[in-house]
Amino acid sequence: MPFTHHSHSGQFCGHAKNTLEEVVQAAIAKGFHNFSLTEHIPRSIEDFYPEEADVHTEESLENLFKDYTVEAQRIREAYASKIRILFAFESEWIRPSDKDRINSLIKTYQFDFFIGSVHHMHTIPIDFDRATYERARSAAGGTDERLFEDYFDSQYEMLQALTPPLVGHFDLIRLLSDHRDSDFKDMKGVWERIERNLKYVQSYGGILELNSAGLRKGLAEPYPCLPICQTSFTNGRKLQMFLSMGGRFALSDDSHGIEQVGTNYHRLLAFVQRAGIREIYYADRDVPLSARNDTRFPHAGFLPIAVDELRAMPFWTLISQVE
């Protein structure tokens, strides 16, 4: 699709590559229409990733984020005639006190929206590597199922506290687990939590991100997996999933450098069609105020486009030539 709502650069993210401007230039070359800049928010020192521990202090990480906000605005203006740039961020929900940090950022800067994400359980990263995932699993009681339950409880806490316009990689927790492609099979408590969280997202008008990074990282399906999008059954019980709730979806590549911009978008389109999704939503700064769900962000709303219309766009031929 010619829209992505999730990206990172090596200039402002330690585990990404390339400058922010190089990433935007790659998006232009690949035919993107809208491109969202969503660098991570700064974290407390106890939550630094390994690649940050030796090069950053809390103050320097704060300053790096401030530099990002300046560079993002410069790039948006410099490339306005070639691509629509959305200015946003990806949250880091680790503990309830993060609410104040995130709300402060929203009040300080003129963001278009933000992504609500969970990357940690029991303060331990769950998608960094297998060793840290196993530490988080041990802290949850020693099984994937227990960790999954804790993850969706933490996600629910985040949803209630922040009501994020866009919910990022909804089932990220399965990436490094022993059940990465099993769709949480036979996990009743997990599915009940998934259904609860989806209902809450739908209740406030949130949008679920369809994230192709899961495919890039070897999963059989993107985030979220197909049963979360469609109606599912577990232990003989019918579960109402996001599409049947009238839920809305947006698209992201979650790129971490120029090589990942738009990767697996053909597979993502095939997944969208298999799921029976007929409309995709994209962020746009021209949405009238009267049509916006979230008054915290008067600078952008989300508009629908029919999947059939997307399929007919020249983007698909162009991205095939560039890849």
**How far is residue 3's CA from residue 82's CA, in Å, rounded to a whole number?**
14
What is the mean predicted confidence (pLDDT) over 134-153? 98
**How far is residue 108's CA from residue 35's CA, in Å, rounded to a whole number?**
22
User: CA torsion sign, 70 to 265 to 269 to 162?
Assistant: negative
Q: Which residue has the tokens 């106890």?
A: 46
Q: What pLDDT was estimated at residue 153?
A: 98
Q: Which residue has the tokens 């019918």?
A: 238
List, in sequence order, the alpha helices (H) in 112-187: 130-140, 144-162
Q: How does residue 142 score in pLDDT terms, banded at 50, 70 and 90?
A: very high
Q: What pLDDT was estimated at residue 14?
A: 87
Q: What pLDDT was estimated at residue 82?
A: 96
**How far is residue 97's CA from residue 102's CA, in Å, rounded to a whole number?**
9
Summarised one tens digit per residue, pLDDT across range 197-237 is: 999 999 999 999 999 999 999 999 999 999 999 866 666 66
Q: Which CA distances in Å does 119 have to 49, 132, 153, 169, 294?
A: 11, 11, 13, 10, 24
Q: What pLDDT was estimated at residue 204?
A: 93
Q: How does residue 282 score in pLDDT terms, banded at 50, 70 and 90?
A: very high
Q: What pLDDT was estimated at residue 323?
A: 53
What is the mean predicted confidence (pLDDT) over 118-145? 96
Q: What mean pLDDT is reported for the chain?
A: 92
Q: Does residue 289 have a pLDDT over 70?
A: no
What is the mean predicted confidence (pLDDT) over 37-45? 94
**How far is residue 128's CA from residue 136's CA, in Å, rounded to a whole number?**
11
Q: How does residue 319 score in pLDDT terms, banded at 50, 70 and 90?
A: low
What is the mean predicted confidence (pLDDT) over 51-63? 89
**How far is residue 256's CA from residue 268's CA, in Å, rounded to a whole number?**
18
Q: How does residue 238 score in pLDDT terms, banded at 50, 70 and 90?
A: low
Tokens of 279: 């409309």
DSSP string covering 195-238: HHHHHHHHHTT-EEEEETHHHHTT-SS-BSPHHHHS-EEETTEE
Fold of the domain spanning 9-322: TIM Barrel (3.20.20)
Q: What pLDDT was estimated at residue 320?
A: 61
Residues 6+ apart with CB under 8 A from 66: none
| β-pair partners for 124 | 121
Q: What pLDDT was estimated at residue 287?
A: 74
Cis peptide bond upstream of 224, omega within 30: yes
Domain positions in the chain: 9-322
Q: What pLDDT was estimated at residue 288?
A: 67
**How far is residue 208's CA from residue 319's CA, in Å, rounded to a whole number?**
24
What is the mean predicted confidence (pLDDT) over 287-291? 67
Ranked by mean pLDDT, which of 155-164, 223-232, 286-295 comes out on top? 155-164
What is the mean predicted confidence (pLDDT) over 265-281? 94
Helix (H, G, I), strand (E, B) or coil at 292: coil
Q: Comparing 49-53, 120-124, 147-151, 315-319, which segment has the lowest mean pLDDT?
A: 315-319
Q: Which CA distances in Å does 22 have to 29, 83, 134, 227?
A: 10, 13, 35, 36
Residue type, 288: P
Contact (CB, 8 A) for 2 and 315: yes
